[in-house]
Amino acid sequence: PFFGTIQAISPSGPYLILNNYQINDNAGNNNGLADYGEIIKLNAELKNVGNNIGNGIIAKLSSNSQYITITDSVENFGNISSGLIKSINNAFTFQVSQLLPDQTSASFELKITDNANNTWTYNFNIILNAPKIQIGNIVINDITGNNNGRLDAGETVTFKISVKNTGNSDASNVITTISSLNNFLVLNNTTVNIGNLQKNSTYDCDFQISANSNVQVGMPFTVNINTGNSVYNDDKIYTGMIGSLVEDFESGFFNKFNWDTTSLKPWTITSVDTYEGYFCAKSAAIPDRDSSVISLNINVLADDSISFYRKVSSENNWDFLNFYIDNVRMDRWSGQKAWARVSFPISAGNHTLKWIYSKDETTYGGSDCAWIDLISFPPIQTILSADGKLNNDFAELYVFPNPCKNSFNISLNNIYSKENESLQVSIFNSAGQLVYSLINKNSESNLNLKVDVSNWSKGIYYLSIYFKNQVLTKKIIVTE
């Protein structure tokens, strides 16, 4: 390698550089950083690295950031001799916007001139800090009720709403409020005053909510949540369901929900080795290289979870109970596994749940089967189709006009698939009270009804159609 000496020669004439700068936010929170809404004084330090004096030095600050307003842009530094540094406190002033994204990088330009028309330009960036208010986890605490983590009829629960400030500035005057259009809910308190929510901190807001004792199990409800101050806020709509929908197979048949048991080796109902009650579901007796499948289509109303109890007795690491959501395997179990609860997150929307007991090429172990019991569903809406299976589109159901004033029509096409089938039409008001009921026999394949609402109070109503132990629900709005 070559080693040599490089001689550094000062530029001929004056040469001014921005040597340093410092934020002065004494008028704000005085943390030495640029925060939202603050008036910033900028201390500036210029150095003459040239070999001649710089005369009549003027510095002008500018910014193209939409979040910066410069209110004092020019400073006269006078004369600066060669090699010297000149500092001026509060040389420039700018206002940071009240509303901006946290960690925004604001670009600045400092143009330095002298009386000989020399110009030196320097660019730099300042990070702008702001709060970031977010609604986090929402937990229902019903320890004074049945402690199932859901709102049941006649129960008062605590809605614990986590509010987070993930930004890099404190947020002042933060308030969290809730509201609901469901008249069967009583919001015992609607406001929590958080006050100052420090950066990178969390505050849990507790709201007491009660449900009327006569509201129908399965009735959907919503709670509107808003948190923040006049500048930074977040909102969320929580969708829940009164009570808990479970499949415990206690009817002794697969008729509580619209199970698909059409596989060549379908699951069966058994009264042996149940987790709770008298019945559970058990995979079929199958040969090697075969599988036993049971599935269910559901329409989930809000992000939640699904849980169930499972038991396995099989050839370890070869024969498995597999659980799928939309053909994505969530987990599998093999060997001797006693009854245990498992839970998986599930998003809002249409999903197919599938349990498969599958075997490999040879041998077996244990009882060579799997069991499931006590499935707890998220808030769901099950929708009927002509063949009795779930139909996740509303192509053949029409409710019109909606909103309505004096009456509305219900049209459900191709609903009946067999003779002697019947369905029940029920309409509930927002307090969960039954205001209309009709049992309809299948005299023809279509259902066409006109419902008179001229004497009904304006508001939100829920239409429920019960058929083959399924229920379809639609919201109806009655106006004056």
What digits encode the pLDDT tens for the residues 269-328?
999 989 999 999 999 999 888 999 999 998 887 788 999 999 999 999 999 999 999 999
Q: Is residue 1 part of a domain?
A: no
Number of domains in the chain: 4
Is residue 355 within 8 A of residue 294, CB to CB? The reply is yes
pLDDT higher than 90, residue 460: no
Of 334, 339, 338, 340, residue with least CA distance to 365: 334
Distance CA 390, CA 381 (A): 10
Task: Let me know whether 29 and 69 are in one domain.
Answer: yes
Query: Are 370 and 410 in the same domain?
Result: no
- The answer for residues whose C-beta is within 8 angstroms of residue 198's C-beta and 6 or more apart is 165, 170
Q: Tell me the pLDDT band of 390, cut-offs 50, 70 and 90.
A: very low
**Tens-place pLDDT, residues 25-37:** 999 999 999 999 9
**H or E segment and range at residue 42:** strand 39-48
Last residue of a domain, one of 110, 129, 148: 129
User: Does residue 209 sit in the same domain as residue 157?
Assistant: yes
Q: Is residue 388 part of a domain?
A: no
* 388 confidence band (pLDDT: 50, 70, 90): very low
In percent, how much of the chain has pLDDT > 90? 60
Beta-bridged to residue 475, according to DSSP, are 462
Last residue of a domain, one of 328, 351, 381: 381
Q: Which pTM value belongs to this model?
A: 0.64
Domain contains 159 = yes
Residue 389 lies in a domain: no
Residue 9 lies in a domain: no
pLDDT tens digits for 181-195?
788 899 999 999 999
CATH of the domain at 420: 2.60.40.1930
Same domain assignment for residues 137 and 205: yes
pLDDT score, position 336: 95
237 and 157 housed in the same domain: yes
**Is 396 a residue whose pLDDT tops 70?**
no
Identify the weakest region by mean pLDDT among 3-17, 203-217, 306-320, 343-357: 3-17
In a domain, 335, yes or no: yes
Q: Is residue 71 part of a domain?
A: yes
Dihedral, 452, 457, 459, 465 alpha carbons, nearest 10: -40
CA distances in angstroms from 406 to 201, 236, 476, listed in the order given? 52, 33, 13
3-state DSSP helix/strand/coil percent for the chain, to nearest 5?
Answer: 0, 55, 45
Residues 33 and 81 in one domain: yes
Residue 469 has a pLDDT of 46
Which tens digit of pLDDT belongs to each residue from 80-91? 999 999 999 999
Assign 219 to helix, strand or coil: coil
- Percent of the chain past pLDDT 70, that is, above it, reads 88
Domain at 363, CATH number: 2.60.120.260
Q: Are residues 125 and 139 in the same domain?
A: no
- 224, 241, 258: which is the final residue of a domain? 241
Q: Residue 5 falls within a domain, yes or no?
A: no
State whether 142 and 23 are in the same domain: no
Residue 288's Cβ-count burial label (10 Å; 0-12, 13-18, 19+) is middle
Residue 335 pLDDT > 80: yes
> Per residue in 43-68, pLDDT tens?
999 999 999 999 999 999 999 999 99
- Please give the residue range of the domain that contains residue 435: 397-478
Residue 381, CB half-sphere, CA atoms under 13 Å: how many? 23
Which pLDDT tens digit goes with each residue over 226-264?
A: 999 989 999 988 888 888 788 999 889 888 888 999 888
Same domain, 371 and 251: yes
In a shared domain, residues 273 and 224? no
- My answer on whether 291 and 230 are in the same domain is no
Structure tokens belonging to residue 337: 């596994």
Going by pLDDT thresholds of 50, 70 and 90, the confidence category of residue 386 is: very low
Range picked from 5-14, 150-159, 254-263, 407-416 for highest mean pLDDT = 150-159
DSSP 89-106: EEEEEEEE-SS--TTEEE
| Claim to verify: residue 220 and residue 281 sit in the same structural domain | no
**What's the whole-number mean pLDDT along residues 401-425?**
73
CATH of the domain at 88: 2.60.40.10
What burial class does residue 45 get, using C-beta atoms within 10 Å of its C-beta: 0-12 exposed, 13-18 middle, 19+ buried?
middle
Cβ-Cβ contacts under 8 Å for 443 (sequence gap 6 or more): none
